[in-house]
Structure 1
């Protein structure tokens, strides 16, 4: 694995660098691109681990041929690997944000609600394999899986206004809309110029301007830092006015108020204004205070528009090379006049480790360990001697240093973190390739952390299969302890305190609802 500079790299950039390394492997991009090039959009989705939950024949019977024509066109333009590249993720592991329904495209319909092409992520307890699903959302109560925790499209995470993040034909717009922005407007420039002062606790906050939270993990710029420090908090303030205009236009409002989510319990209420129709719109804080229910009903600026593209931050910090990015992203960012120019620092290549991990000092000599016939073997020992030594170890005797080294590699190899990262992001084939490269394709895994990780990944895929089939349809927190499934047992082991409902056993319900208190031994 690459070295991690924990003292100089912010936590969010370290997460995104691991995501770019493991979440979308080159083999997935190559296979999905090849299938998409020949028009096989379903094969491209399968290569990107996206399940297709829509039937074009059924859609034609319900909504007509015109809708199917538009839908098929979008499906052929869909780059599922690019969609996975830009999907929202959660810290600290960088996995897909669970339980989301994200809108990709809108289609006119005869009903009051327009049809939407959506992509869904499973809940956290069923995210093994990091698979997604593609479906057609047909409005409230129609076309939505009843067992999904959030079947309705999310307002904060929407990609219908950002087709360049999944449409292969419009991926070239990424450099223009990735958060760099053009010349900032008057209002947005004042906010952008005051970001550091607003986030700084020792300066007074000017009334009316949104307070942009500063990440605590951002390092200070020092002359001794080996790589450029990142001082930007990641907010694409210079693009908010243009993105808000697109958002309000999609909502049928030429101008008006909108919100930007700044944190778990913090949001900025802004207003899009313009001196006249011939000037570019600008935004400013809303002058009058609105009640909470009206603020909740305002349009929300999508997360893809509120923050700077993570790839751009990685390039500016010198944490990733352009060649390691997705080909469509690299082509957009390296185009003439793009952002990945002279401001990106060179990537530091880690120096090779001293010594050879496949050489072991054994009985005063340096012996070699290599793959022979698909198995990791101490090649400087006679096979008969190895069999005698293994028999001696089985009887309780000491093992040779070569055999101890092979045992350590089988149980907990140095590449175990890389295997864990690949398994966490669903790249089972890549994880097995790493294991085969270390131990050989004919090796038999022994008890230890490596075998436990592989077994756990295989077991968790059963949960995903149960979720997909609808056999486990409810959220784990809604079940009672001991309800007969593995999910309830898992929460019981973790000390989960369930809610009282009609499925709770009578004895437990009586004990939990009783007002009796234990005797204290104090009598009057």
Structure 2
């Protein structure tokens, strides 16, 4: 057992499988080692904005954009694998990470749509962004540039290849708990304090874990509100930081009291710093005081999620990012190249006449034992309100999110659409070349054309786009929010070349989504000067 729930561990396993494709890691690593940071960014689907990057040449020479993507914040709920939207990461410059604000700064901007294209954007500013500039933001003020600003200047192990080996030091560890440096499991007799604390915490003995870390504290009080009680228990039982590292950081402050937050309105107040064992007292605080100066944010001491996944048996060691693997197991030697296994592209199901048929894909369409006349008859039956069964139903369900598919085909569709969402162009081409039907939709109703901006090897690379249009994909297909591929390209990261290609293929620039938002409303909200050729009718 680990701190991660069973569902959470499963979701993170899905993220580690698809969200940073092996082909992306290999290409970005090769470019970085060759000294071409721009090519490394391109390989990792990181667009480089215009600007003067001269002050950051040394940082960029060792920038591992694929490693940053691996570590960026995500909230893996409902099976989602995407990055948190509207996040900005401060990599370097703009001061020394000590509160000083001065000079140019280097940032990576996150996605605009959570489940949209996962392309990132590297940019520089003359002066650092103000993380508090949007505290009083209102909807009428226009689009908010970012929801959260993360300072990674002192967390270089998350993006700088030179510092990646210090990943464990960030949470106070000298080795990966329960393993030796070569990756062999430690026998219980060789466990140290970290392993003892974690084993107590995993067993649900939170109070005993804190005592082992040097804090005498009771179990959480029971709030009157059932909701508050649930949230408090989640934070207490799911405490993700290293207990001993948090206690050491609290002692280093030299204060008479330090607060460790557990959720928004509960914290443990640590006192008694003159003794060997601290005293922890539960305190209720108001929401507005949650960031008081005497509170200690445990986030910098959070245990790497990969350590939890390995301990839970969800993530094979061979599936780690190579730089993470080297940090965890410095004596294990390099990893063999990881390759995503090809999913099964066929299923066996019972058809209308009761016979069992094999459903396969070949040449970009379903290969089923029914001729075109039978297909048309079933389609006519469906149009009249009749129920379609068997092979024809599976073919139809492939193109309709939420419809029931045989498990093998459902997993194949998920594999195709997650490769597309996360910019795995070689992986998508591999499946299409193997004959997989490209007309699939993801749970959000998005087609491969909705994901095309993340599947372009260069701003003007329209090879896959033309292939999909030639295969019959509809440029006017709408996702569950009523957005077409053209609207998605304009809202998200679509290049001018892609937008022009969509228009030439027949996309309608005058459509609106289910919220009544038009393409031109989006252009009014977001600065896209490269799309100035798009003009509302009559202008």
Q: Does TM, normalized by the shorter one, top 0.5?
A: yes
Which category describes the TM-score, using the shorter chain as reference length?
A: 0.5 to 0.7
Give the CA deviation at 1:32. Answer: 1.1
**Matching residue of 2:6:** 10
- Post-superposition Cα deviations, 1:423-475, rounded to whole Å, max 9, x if no partner, equal 555557646755665xx25x47389979755465564784464466999xxxx
Give the CA deviation at 1:136. Answer: 2.4
- Post-superposition Cα deviations, 1:326-361, rounded to whole Å, max 9, x if no partner, equal 1111121123599xxxxxxxxxxxxx99x9725767
User: Which among 211, 219, 224 is matched to residue 198 of structure 1?
Assistant: 219
The 3-state SS of whatever aligns with 1:215 is helix
Give the CA deviation at 1:318. Answer: 1.3
Query: Taking structure 2 as the reference length, what is the TM-score of the superposition?
Result: 0.57
**Matching residue of 1:75:** 60
Q: Which has the larger radius of gyration?
A: 1
Residues 117 and 400 of structure 1: is their aligned pair in 2 closer, same or farther, counting only changes over 3 Å? closer
The 3-state SS of whatever aligns with 1:357 is strand
1:118 aligns with 2:107: yes
Give the CA deviation at 1:98. Answer: 2.3
1:233 aligns with 2:235: no
Asked if 1 retains the 8 angstrom alpha-carbon contact of 2:64 and 2:161, the reply is: yes
Asked if 1 retains the 8 angstrom alpha-carbon contact of 2:351 and 2:357, the reply is: yes
The 3-state SS of whatever aligns with 2:123 is strand
Residues 407 and 158 of structure 1: is their aligned pair in 2 closer, same or farther, counting only changes over 3 Å? same
Residues 9 and 315 of structure 1: is their aligned pair in 2 closer, same or farther, counting only changes over 3 Å? same
Residues 134 and 410 of structure 1: is their aligned pair in 2 closer, same or farther, counting only changes over 3 Å? closer
1:168 aligns with 2:161: yes
Asked if 1 retains the 8 angstrom alpha-carbon contact of 2:242 and 2:301, the reply is: yes
Asked if 2 retains the 8 angstrom alpha-carbon contact of 1:128 and 1:457, the reply is: yes
**Matching residue of 1:136:** 124
**Matched pairs, number:** 404
Asked if 1 retains the 8 angstrom alpha-carbon contact of 2:265 and 2:286, the reply is: no
Equivalent residue runs for 1:494-505 within 5 Å:
none
Segments of 5+ residues of structure 2 without an aligned counterpart are: 135-140, 175-191, 198-208, 224-230, 334-342, 453-483, 497-509, 519-539
Asked if 1 retains the 8 angstrom alpha-carbon contact of 2:266 and 2:284, the reply is: no
**Matching residue of 1:90:** 75
Give the CA deviation at 1:118. Answer: 2.0
Equivalent residue runs for 1:14-29 within 5 Å:
14-29=10-25
Segments of 5+ residues of structure 1 without an aligned counterpart are: 61-67, 203-211, 219-230, 249-253, 276-280, 339-351, 472-483, 493-524
User: Which among 288, 300, 320 is matched to residue 325 of structure 1?
Assistant: 320
Residues 323 and 403 of structure 1: is their aligned pair in 2 closer, same or farther, counting only changes over 3 Å? same
Asked if 2 retains the 8 angstrom alpha-carbon contact of 1:179 and 1:305, the reply is: no
Distance 2:158 2:39 in 1: 20
Distance 1:191 1:95 in 2: 37
C-alpha RMSD over aligned residues: 5.5
Equivalent residue runs for 1:89-488 within 5 Å:
89-92=74-77, 93-106=80-93, 113-124=102-113, 128-139=116-127, 149-150=144-145, 154=149, 157-178=150-171, 180=173, 190=211, 192=213, 197-199=218-220, 213-215=232-234, 233-241=239-247, 261-266=261-266, 296=291, 298=293, 304-336=299-331, 357-358=347-348, 367-378=357-368, 386-390=371-375, 392-393=377-378, 396=381, 402-403=391-392, 405-409=394-398, 411=400, 412=405, 413-415=409-411, 416-419=413-416, 421-422=418-419, 425=422, 427=424, 430=427, 434=431, 437=434, 440=435, 443=437, 445=439, 452-454=446-448, 457=451, 459=484, 462-463=487-488, 465-466=490-491, 486=512
The 3-state SS of whatever aligns with 2:151 is coil
Give the CA deviation at 1:325. Answer: 1.3
Distance 2:303 2:39 in 1: 32
Distance 2:272 2:32 in 1: 39
Give the CA deviation at 1:18. Answer: 2.1
- Post-superposition Cα deviations, 1:281-313, rounded to whole Å, max 9, x if no partner, equal 998879999999887463876665242211111
Residues 374 and 140 of structure 1: is their aligned pair in 2 closer, same or farther, counting only changes over 3 Å? closer
Asked if 2 retains the 8 angstrom alpha-carbon contact of 1:259 and 1:269, the reply is: yes
User: Which among 503, 506, 515 is matched to residue 489 of structure 1?
Assistant: 515
Distance 2:284 2:234 in 1: 27
Distance 2:210 2:122 in 1: 39
The 3-state SS of whatever aligns with 1:13 is helix
